[in-house]
Amino acid sequence: MLTPRFELSQTDTELAIIIHAPYANIKDAEVSVEGTDFRFFSTPYYLRLKLPGEIEENDSSSGSYNCESGTFSLKFSKVNKGEHFGNLDMITTLLAPPKKRSTIIPNIEVIGNPSADSADVAENLNDNVTADNDNSEEWFFPQNVPQTTENVSFLNPKYGFANKLSGALHAFEPAWIREIIDLPTPDTTPEEERKNLRKKRESEDFKEDHYMADLMEPECIEPYITHTAEWDTLQKDDITFTGEEVDLLKELPNKEFLLDAADIRGLSFALVDILYASCYNYRTTEGENTVESGWTVNKLSSTLCWFQNFTSMDEVVTACFRRSLCYPLFRNWRLSMKVLDDVKKVLSLGKFNLV
């Protein structure tokens, strides 16, 4: 079955769901609503959403199909009038299957599904997987842990999202790894040495001649500094996902991570670091990616190519500026400052919700 593209919007009393299903068989289309559970079926499409609030089908509900655009437009009443449904833009979260409720609450906090009830966080980790309460069929496949003789050490250096990985690059050739990241021997280099190794490499790679050339020939840099970026004119209410972006989001896996306050703080710093690299690429290509864009973003981000774990915002900004003056084609202090302004503008737009 195919998962169709969908969009959600709301008023104080209604939730509107637009489903793009151009090849749907209209005759067998079915819609089911029960509390926070919404289901749509029309061959070859199937959509099931876990909504952040309860809706109901009543006399004011409506539905229509546009043959030209291939879209179903559905409206349902909110059970609690005036309730605001948050995170309607969280595509993968809405697609997540409902969790089994339990009365046993472990002493851990799951940072994941923001649209689920707080009771959904309470899971019995010892229970076997069972079918939903509505007895709908679920498919499961046996999963066996492969036997290995390799010794696993909890003291191995960690990296990746929230430092949840170790030993993941051991099987790859060193020459291939060097093409992707600058950190030497990532599976054996202690985390506390990464920063010093990075700064040493940057000091060696800094080219005074290149920097002076960009400083003394500002006409080469000025068009990029004065370029009007997309976020320079955007307002919060203007932000929305394109159809292509929605298609990408609905295909992403929905994962949950056990994160404490320190993890979230570190991830926030990493986000700023990667965002700076992305904004630099956007500005120096004037919004048009090139074949070098992937390399630029990876090279400017200490998070991506050095697995750097930041502890302060000053540390993040310093690393971003150092790398922006060492590696990309354009190395100019004013340009680096302009990119920092870009990051501030992007963050000030905030996380948006469809309303």
Q: What is the DSSP string of 122-190?
A: ---TTSPP---TT----------PPP------TTS--BSGGG-B-STTTTS-HHHHHHH-SSSSTTTS-
Spell out the residues 6+ positions from residue 273 whose beta carbon is closer than 8 angstroms to its own. Answer: 301, 302, 303, 308, 310, 316, 319, 320
pLDDT of residue 115: 44
CA nearest to 224, candidates 339, 142, 114: 339
Which residue in 160, 282, 187 sits closest to 229, CA to CA? 282
Per DSSP, the three-state class of 75 is strand
pLDDT of residue 99: 57
Q: At what angle do helices 333-349 and 313-324 cross, to 10 degrees?
A: 140
Distance CA 98, CA 117 (A): 10
Question: What pLDDT score does 180 carry?
Answer: 86
CA distance 330 to 202: 16
Tokens of 289: 């990616």
The first and second tokens of residue 192, run together, are 């506390």
Q: How confident is the model at residue 172, as a pLDDT?
A: 79
- Spell out, as residue ranges, where the chain has pLDDT lower than 50: 102-107, 113-153, 352-355
Fold (CATH) for 5-94: Immunoglobulin-like (2.60.40)
The pLDDT assigned to 97 comes to: 65
Of the candidates 304, 323, 301, 310, the one whose C-alpha atom is nearest the C-alpha of residue 191 is: 310
Q: Considering only CA atoms, which of 98, 137, 134, 138 is closest in space to residue 115?
A: 98
CB 95 within 8 A of CB 83: no
pLDDT of residue 212: 94
pLDDT of residue 111: 54
Listed by start position, the domains of the chain span 5-94, 161-354
Residue showing tokens 């707080």: 118
**Cis amide leading into 44 (omega within 30):** yes
Q: Residue 96 has what pLDDT?
A: 67
Whether the full predicted model's pTM is greater than 0.85, yes or no, is no
Selection from 20, 107, 81, 10 nearest residue 51 by Cα:
10
Task: State residue 134's pLDDT score.
Answer: 46
Partners of 47 in the β-ladder:
40
Q: Which residues of 42-55 are buried (b: 16+ CB within 10 A; e: fewer)?
A: beebebbbbbbbbb
Q: Which residues pair with 65 in a beta bridge?
A: 72
- Give the DSSP letter of residue 2: B
Residue 285 identity (one-letter amino acid): T
The pLDDT score that the predictor gives to residue 174 is 78
